[in-house]
Amino acid sequence: MWVTLPVDLNSNSAKQQEVQFKAYYLPKDDEYYQFCYVDQDGVVRGASIPFQFRPENEEDILVVTTQGEVEEIEQHNKELCKENQELKDSCVSLQKQNSDMQAELHKKEEDLETLKSTNKKLEQQVKAQKDCWETELLQLKEQNQKMATENEKLGVRVEQLQAQLSTQEKEIEKLVQGSQDKTEQLEHLKKEKSQLLLTLTQQREHQKKLEQTVEEMKQEETTAMKKQQELTDENSGLSKTLSENKIMCSTLQREKERLEKENDLLKRENSRLLSYMGLDFDSLPYQAPTSDQAGAGQNPGLVYGNPYSGIQESSAPSLRTMKRCPTCKSDLADDIFGPTLEQQHMEALCLNCPICDKTFPAREKQIFEDHVFCHTL
């Protein structure tokens, strides 16, 4: 059984330890047992008095003694027990010393044999080592000469390295100063970074607002595209109507030219007749009737009346009342261009904003384009 170590090993006071043995470890009747204290190396450090367990001898013997004799016997018994204990302790100590000395003697003999064999081996090794040392001595002498040469070279190299070291120290000082400057720049950059992060956050918020605005503008653009498509379709219809009106206008222009030629012929004929009658055409207050005055009757300026009044009256229904467009300066006939066609003609010559329905004259095209561009901002 192993005993646990006391808690305080350095204390000089006595410590009471307890060990609990199992039943099958206890000694049997008529058997002597002894406590031996062994350390972890197997060395006996102490032993107790041999003891045994046996029942008491129950004999029916009655011994009658006086109190003094009993005390004397007990005192003598105590002295004997004490002497017996001392003898047993001495015997155990001697036995222990004897066993220790025998073990030590055996160990010394073994060590002696080991030392003898080791001594022989060492002598052989010393002889071999001596030869090896002599060889190494020669090699070391040669190496010493080489080392001396190398030492001189190293001295020169050391001087060079010292010069390089001083140069590097100066460079290190510069680097340290540069490192301090870099640290200050780093702090400044960190501050700028924080400011940039704040600006970036604000820009992101602004970007979100812009994205929302773009979405709204896209929706407006979709609406404008639809309206533009409608206007394109309407413009196509108006273009078609305009082309038809241009054809009619060219027809009317040719008709006008033809009528002007006929009017010139009539003027010449009238002049000829007046000359024949002995009158000067230029001296008369009469002027050639206009298209809106055709069929109004004879001019009182003629003495004998207009001999071709019947012809003019018959031709009057073929003449059309003409109007001039204030925008394109073209002539328009009343019987062909009614109020609806005249309105379509005016709309074809105007520019309408597809977003706010504002109207611009065709001659102000640049102002119209600038106005539409402002809606996209």
| Eight-class DSSP state of 375 | H
Q: What is the pLDDT of residues 7-23, one digit of tens each?
A: 766 666 666 777 777 77
Q: What is the CA radius of gyration of the chain?
A: 73
- The residue that leads in pLDDT, 79 or 298, is 79
> For 230-241, what is the mean pLDDT?
84
pLDDT of residue 298: 40
Q: Could you give the 3-state DSSP secondary structure of residue 294?
A: coil
Backbone phi and psi for residue 33, each to the nearest 5 degrees, phi listed first? -125, 160
Tokens of 68: 């003094």
The answer to whether residue 85 scores a pLDDT higher than 60 is yes
Question: What is the Cα–Cα distance from 144 to 138, expressed in whole angstroms?
Answer: 10
Residue 292, C-beta contacts closer than 8 angstroms, at least 6 positions apart: 321
The answer to whether residue 362 scores a pLDDT higher than 80 is no
Q: Is the pTM of this model over 0.85?
A: no
pLDDT of residue 312: 41
DSSP for 146-203, please give it: HHHHHHHHHHHHHHHHHHHHHHHHHHHHHHHHHHHHHHHHHHHHHHHHHHHHHHHHHH
Torsion, Cα of 362, 367, 368, 371 (10° steps): -170
- The residue that leads in pLDDT, 332 or 229, is 229
pLDDT band of residue 367 (cuts 50, 70, 90) is confident
Question: What is the Cα–Cα distance from 52 to 166, expressed in whole angstroms?
Answer: 90
- The residue that leads in pLDDT, 353 or 117, is 117
pLDDT of residue 329: 54
Residue of 78, 353, 77 lying closest to 228 (CA atoms)? 353
pLDDT of residue 347: 59
- The residue that leads in pLDDT, 326 or 117, is 117
The answer to whether residue 185 scores a pLDDT higher than 50 is yes
The answer to whether residue 316 scores a pLDDT higher than 70 is no
pLDDT of residue 67: 67
The answer to whether residue 62 scores a pLDDT higher than 60 is no
- The residue that leads in pLDDT, 342 or 225, is 225
The answer to whether residue 247 scores a pLDDT higher than 60 is yes
Q: What is the pLDDT of residues 277-300, one digit of tens each?
A: 765 545 544 444 444 443 334 444
pLDDT band of residue 37 (cuts 50, 70, 90) is confident
pLDDT of residue 297: 40
Contact call for residues 315 and 325 (beta carbons, < 8 A): no
Residue of 227, 226, 231 lying closest to 350 (CA atoms)? 231
pLDDT band of residue 82 (cuts 50, 70, 90) is very high
The answer to whether residue 224 scores a pLDDT higher than 80 is yes
- The residue that leads in pLDDT, 21 or 121, is 121
Q: How many CA atoms lie within 13 A of 87 on its CB side?
A: 6
pLDDT of residue 278: 66
Tokens of 8: 């305080």
The answer to whether residue 74 scores a pLDDT higher than 50 is yes
Contact call for residues 84 and 39 (beta carbons, < 8 A): no
The answer to whether residue 345 scores a pLDDT higher than 80 is no
